[in-house]
Structure 1
């Protein structure tokens, strides 16, 4: 059984202050216990150091820890080191990260102007189908962040994805698609860190975390990321 955890960074809006890029990350592992154990160990270090239990441990919250007075100085002063340690630990597990990166202004207007969520469904379905045969054929359990800003309807997303996997990839094994809160699923928490780290490379021109993640990247679906 392969487990696939999906998260996104950026958004697909077209307003002036919207992100220039949109990224979907899919972390795949067949050894779920090993992945969970690694992330839980890193989280335990933070909780033992005084990280507040009501603040979710994510890339964004760690990055901005110095602006939250409830997070101990011991953590906020070392937040960049901690971020690198967590990402390195996740990458040391037996998993592969597949991702789709799109520079939004070069996507077709028909996709960008479609009903809310259509672009997300298309990019996510295309990524999974292109990575499927080489990286995760067979039984598949997919978990998507419940709070995804882009999935306009779980049923439309689930039905579309199932249709693509069966119709385009000839998937014949077991298939389940769940939508869960990230604070309840360690796999979603893991992919959040990787998605955040990759996004910084494209949106903020900060390659720090891409360099750490690159060794576990499987399929990269690139939609004009370097086009000028």
Structure 2
């Protein structure tokens, strides 16, 4: 890799605080290897339609298609995604080059009064945008009011602070990466609460057979994360599920 150091690497990311924070970890590593890095912010359909439920925006890939288009058009060299956002079918002409080490894969509850899911008061209002989370909350607490919410992590937490909601369910990994793990009230774990396939994992996607970028990313790759997430995604594909399926 030494002979490649000093080259420019264009890194594509969504513009949300969480996406840029996650991508920032990758950029920091690339710079530590001696590369010049340009961050390229790309807005996706999911970002542009913040008031519309994700399932109503369109097919799978609402947070990735514009980044994939930029890869195919060679406007960026690599794209950093949350792996759970990617459809199980790979877009022709692209491939996964690298999966960095996985963060905590579970969902968490953040509640206003510091009580867990089973101890929330009757008819408490719990915010989530996920069909999967909604179904699992209902299985544990059918009396709760589930409120559909979109927006970034801070805006969701603010709705709890301002007493609009009693609690929200979020991904542990996002709070950890943003330095907000102190907000977590309860980690929601199996057998009562199952996370999304590949939750907590990032993936770096590149144009197919781009040997130069593959070599650049090799030191970041974490084989154990790759094997576990590939297995999970294979199961999802066998069930004909996509990244929006409540599986």
State whether TM-score is above 0.5.
no
Relative CO higher for 1 or 2, CA cutoff 8 Å, sep ≥ 6?
1
Greater Rg over alpha carbons, structure: 2
| TM-score range normalised by the length of the shorter chain | under 0.3
- TM-score using structure 1 length: 0.26
Larger proportion of helix = 1
